[in-house]
């Protein structure tokens, strides 16, 4: 069975649906908050032209998701699958951001568990590249049980910390 990179995934807190070009304005209204990006390697992603490149990358990846608050349908962020490698039986989850109103773990944790549950039906390993200064994201992955396996450049050439998960956390 082939890996479906953009299913609709639903939980009690969040819904993930395939990202589409028409989502730009509403998603940018969330992403224009500079504090969202302060620990991220691309900490100027709140700027319209920089965000537009991020958004286009999410569309081009074929694995981009719009993240909605399940309670009211509000757009609260974005995430994606990236670099699916069938031969290595792995995929990356990343490029995730959430509105600050939804920080604190519950929403991110559920989103990651939904993505992991789906991905681990098709691959043995899910990897995460996190900026070396992005301590919030590193802590969030460690709370999920991700194992830090090293460091090195991500697909953009930026230095990152590498994490992996091989089973769905409860």
Give the start-to-end residue ranges of the domains of the chain. 9-165
Per-residue pLDDT at 146: 94
Per-residue pLDDT at 2: 84
Cα–Cα distances in angstroms (integers) from residue 52 to residues 25, 55, 148, 155, in the given order: 10, 5, 31, 18
Per-residue pLDDT at 49: 96
Per-residue pLDDT at 168: 76
- CATH class of the region 9-165: alpha beta
122-146 as b/e, with b when 16 or more CB fall inside 10 Å? bbebbbbbbbeebeebbebbeebeb
- Residue 33 phi/psi, 5-degree rounding, is -80, 110
Per-residue pLDDT at 119: 97
List the chain residues with pLDDT less than 50. none
How far apart are alpha carbons 61 and 34 in whole angstroms? Answer: 24
Per-residue pLDDT at 71: 96
Per-residue pLDDT at 111: 96
How far apart are alpha carbons 79 and 114 in whole angstroms? Answer: 12
Closest CA to 82 of 59, 101, 103: 59
Per-residue pLDDT at 104: 83
Measured from the Cβ of residue 56, the count of other Cβ atoms closer than 10 Å reads: 13
pTM of this prediction? Answer: 0.93
Task: Tally the C-alpha atoms within 13 A of residue 3's C-alpha that lie toward its C-beta.
Answer: 25
């Amino acid at each position: 069975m082939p890996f479906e990179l953009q299913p609709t995934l639903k939980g009690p807190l969040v819904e993930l649906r395939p990202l589409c070009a028409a989502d730009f304005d509403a998603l940018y209204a969330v992403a224009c908050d500079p504090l969202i990006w302060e620990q991220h390697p691309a900490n100027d992603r709140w700027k319209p032209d920089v965000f537009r490149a991020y958004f286009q990358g999410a569309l081009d990846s074929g694995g981009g998701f719009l993240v909605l608050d399940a309670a009211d349908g509000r757009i609260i962020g974005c995430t994606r699958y990236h670099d699916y490698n069938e031969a290595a039986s792995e995929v990356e989850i990343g490029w995730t951001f959430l509105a600050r109103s939804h920080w604190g773990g519950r929403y991110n944790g559920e989103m990651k568990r939904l993505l992991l549950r789906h991905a681990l039906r098709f691959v043995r390993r899910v990897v995460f590249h996190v900026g070396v200064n992005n301590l919030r994201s590193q802590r969030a992955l460690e709370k999920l049980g991700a194992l830090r396996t090293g460091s090195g450049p991500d697909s953009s050439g930026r230095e990152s910390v590498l994490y992996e998960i091989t089973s769905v956390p409860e």
